[in-house]
């Protein structure tokens, strides 16, 4: 963990004033109190390591909240919190103006011309995507291909009961529609209309425009049924290649996938071989984050990650780079579900120069708003979504000081009721202007019918983001990636060249 850089000069200035009994300004006091809060976070980080790496004695929520409490004299008054917020607004405004000045291209004309904006967003260089779930990549075409090739029998009641048993949701009219399909009929024996009706269940309905996570989650009952059998790898390879070819066409050169894999040498061999093959065939550098399902007991994920850590030390991988905690965040808070695995990895990494696993975590998408704070204290270097960070001024400062990457997925947030675009602009831009290295990704290209260009369109059309800020996010997607230093250099240089060419071409039109 890097040390806190917050206004050390001001704090010393005020401390000196205190010594000679000169009163501090309210701003100085606010800064001193902020430093006291951030110090608590750093102390809590050490305790997480002590309790989950050096011993096996997880911290209770009660104990945790107590640990993070500052002395009464360090608690913020309303006025001081207002000052902190004002400070952030000043930084945001200054960075916004600096970015406008630096921008080689004015995006405003594009905001009034959707076709021109779409073309711009296809062509602008993108860098990487750090938040991609393979099981969310299935497009209608790929599902059609797989079902045609393997021609499985379809039993509507299987899906209805699986979804129900897993606490997922299909709308009533969807259940009714599913029940109109004949039972135990092979896919190719269905009428065209019935095939099309069945394919709808692999994508999120467009009406209504946003859904609860449980409706989104129901799609995986269909995806898992389709792919998890003896032909899993062949089906997934088809999926990866389809996706990577499309991403490459949109200017993507680097992808991190998050998925679960058993801790076995065979997994390492498979993922390394895939990564090599995908680079050869699509030009995209592929890296993998080992997925931990957050609804499982924390102990179970910790056991798996300890096994992965040992295995990767013995059999280094060229493509496995990190871990991520995913699936439904509501009801599965970071502290209770992640401290054992993350505390262990963080502890291991703090004692070794060379380590095999970096850490990111889904946090601040929904559920307990303290999840981002707790993920950061556990030592992650990135978070997925992080939207709820918008209401936590102190953790925002912590994220800024530590330069925590945030993997933003705007269309996912709109479709899963995480952010209401009609109520306020998406907070990604506020975070970026505060100096936090935000990057754009898609979460689940297929399910949300999005891609990295559509994320660019969403960013430009719903906020006043400038060209220099889009550029910054492309570079952030490489600098906050888990690629090694050599690849980061190569990809950053490539991105720089792509921007030079892009601007020459765009401005000469």
Distance in Å, CB of 323 to Zn ion, minimum: 13
Interface stretch with Zn ion, choices 116-124, 193-201, 262-270, 443-451 (CB under 5 A)? 443-451
> Quick one: which of 294, 164, 353, 134 has its CA closest to 228?
134
Interface stretch with Zn ion, choices 79-87, 235-243, 306-314, 435-443 (CB under 5 A)? 435-443
Interface stretch with Zn ion, choices 45-53, 209-217, 440-448, 455-463 (CB under 5 A)? 440-448
CA angle 372, 481, 41 (to 5 degrees): 30
DSSP 77: P
How many Å apart are CA 372 and CA 369, to the nearest integer? 7
Determine contact, residues 494/125, Cβ cutoff 8 Å. no
Phi (first) and psi of residue 138, to 5 degrees: -65, 120
How many Å apart are CA 403 and CA 425, to the nearest integer? 22
Q: Output the residue with the shortest Cβ distance to Zn ion.
A: 443
Distance in Å, CB of 133 to Zn ion, minimum: 6
Tally of CB atoms within 10 A around 56: 12
Interface stretch with Zn ion, choices 8-16, 56-64, 143-151, 438-446 (CB under 5 A)? 438-446
How many Å apart are CA 209 and CA 237, to the nearest integer? 31
Which residues have CB under 8 Å from 342's CB, separation 6+? 48, 52, 325, 359, 361, 375, 378, 379, 380
Q: Which is nearer to Zn ion, 52 or 411 (CB)?
A: 411
Q: Which is nearer to Zn ion, 336 or 443 (CB)?
A: 443
Q: Which is nearer to Zn ion, 409 or 463 (CB)?
A: 409
Total interface residues for Zn ion by CB under 5 A? 1
Q: Please tell me whether residue 324 binds Zn ion under the rule CB under 5 A.
A: no
Interface stretch with Zn ion, choices 45-53, 241-249, 394-402, 437-445 (CB under 5 A)? 437-445
Q: Which is nearer to Zn ion, 7 or 419 (CB)?
A: 419
List the interface residues with Zn ion, window 30-49 (CB under 5 A): none
- Label residues 290-303 b or e (16+ Cβ within 10 Å = b): bbbebeeebeebbe
How many Å apart are CA 428 and CA 413, to the nearest integer? 11
By rule CB under 5 A, what string of x and - marks binding of each residue 386-425 to Zn ion?
A: ----------------------------------------
Distance in Å, CB of 97 to Zn ion, minimum: 33
| DSSP codes joined into one string, 188-212 | GGS-HHHHHHHHGGGS--SSSS---
Q: Which is nearer to Zn ion, 256 or 443 (CB)?
A: 443
Distance in Å, CB of 304 to Zn ion, minimum: 19
Distance in Å, CB of 333 to Zn ion, minimum: 17
How many Å apart are CA 284 and CA 280, to the nearest integer? 8
Q: Which is nearer to Zn ion, 187 or 254 (CB)?
A: 254
Q: Please tell me whether residue 443 binds Zn ion under the rule CB under 5 A.
A: yes
**Token pair of 273 as six digits:** 């071989």
Q: Please tell me whether residue 80 binds Zn ion under the rule CB under 5 A.
A: no
Distance in Å, CB of 402 to Zn ion, minimum: 21
Q: Which is nearer to Zn ion, 397 or 443 (CB)?
A: 443
How many Å apart are CA 263 and CA 308, to the nearest integer? 5
> Quick one: which of 310, 223, 222, 297 has its CA closest to 263?
310
Q: Which is nearer to Zn ion, 40 or 294 (CB)?
A: 294
Distance in Å, CB of 289 to Zn ion, minimum: 11
Q: Which is nearer to Zn ion, 202 or 502 (CB)?
A: 202
Determine contact, residues 239/447, Cβ cutoff 8 Å. no
Distance in Å, CB of 441 to Zn ion, minimum: 9
Applying CB under 5 A, the residues found at the interface with Zn ion are 443
């Amino acid at each position: 963990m890097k040390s806190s850089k917050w206004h050390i000069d001001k704090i010393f200035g005020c401390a000196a004033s205190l010594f000679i009994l000169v009163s501090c300004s309210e701003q100085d006091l606010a800064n001193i109190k902020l430093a006291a809060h951030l110090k608590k976070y750093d102390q809590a980080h050490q305790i997480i390591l002590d309790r989950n790496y050096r011993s096996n004695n997880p911290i209770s929520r009660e104990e945790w909240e107590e640990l993070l409490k500052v002395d009464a004299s360090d608690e913020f008054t309303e006025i001081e919190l207002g000052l902190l917020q004002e400070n952030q607004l000043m930084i945001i405004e200054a960075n916004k103006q600096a970015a406008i000045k630096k921008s080689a291209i004015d995006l405003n004309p594009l905001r009034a011309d959707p076709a021109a904006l779409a073309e711009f967003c296809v062509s602008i260089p993108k860098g990487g995507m750090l938040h991609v779930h393979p099981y969310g990549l299935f497009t209608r075409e790929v599902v059609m291909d797989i079902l045609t090739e393997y021609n499985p029998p379809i039993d509507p009641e299987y899906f209805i009961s699986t979804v129900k048993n897993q606490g997922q949701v299909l709308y009533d009219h969807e259940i009714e529609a599913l029940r109109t399909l004949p039972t135990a009929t092979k896919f190719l024996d269905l009428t065209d209309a019935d095939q099309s009706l069945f394919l709808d269940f692999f994508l999120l309905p467009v009406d209504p425009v946003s859904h609860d996570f449980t409706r989104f989650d129901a799609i995986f009952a269909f995806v898992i049924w389709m792919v998890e059998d003896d032909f899993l790898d062949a089906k997934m390879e088809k999926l990866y290649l389809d996706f990577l070819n499309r991403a490459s066409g949109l200017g993507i050169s680097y992808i991190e996938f998050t998925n679960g894999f058993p801790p076995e040498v065979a997994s390492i061999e498979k993922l390394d071989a895939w990564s090599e093959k995908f680079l050869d065939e699509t030009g995209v550098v592929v890296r993998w984050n080992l997925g931990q399902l957050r609804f499982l007991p924390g102990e179970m994920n910790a056991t798996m990650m300890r096994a992965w850590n040992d295995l990767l030390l013995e059999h280094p991988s060229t493509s496995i780079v990190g871990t991520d905690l995913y699936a439904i965040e509501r009801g599965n808070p970071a502290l209770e579900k992640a401290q054992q695995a993350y505390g262990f990895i963080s502890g291991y990494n703090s004692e070794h120069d060379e380590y095999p696993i970096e850490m990111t975590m889904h946090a601040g998408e929904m559920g307990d708003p303290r999840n981002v704070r707790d993920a950061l204290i556990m030592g992650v270097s990135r978070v997925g979504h992080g939207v709820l960070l918008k209401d936590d001024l102190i953790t925002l400062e912590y994220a800024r000081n530590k330069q925590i990457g945030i993997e933003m997925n705007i269309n996912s947030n709109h479709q899963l009721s995480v952010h209401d675009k009609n109520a306020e602009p998406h907070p990604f831009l506020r975070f970026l202007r505060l100096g936090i290295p935000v990057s754009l990704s898609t979460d689940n290209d297929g399910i949300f019918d999005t891609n990295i260009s559509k994320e660019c369109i969403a960013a430009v059309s719903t906020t006043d983001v400038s060209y220099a800020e889009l550029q910054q996010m492309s570079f952030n997607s490489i600098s906050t990636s888990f690629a090694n230093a050599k690849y980061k250099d190569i990809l950053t240089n490539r991105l720089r060249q792509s921007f030079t060419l892009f601007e020459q071409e765009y401005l000469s039109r």
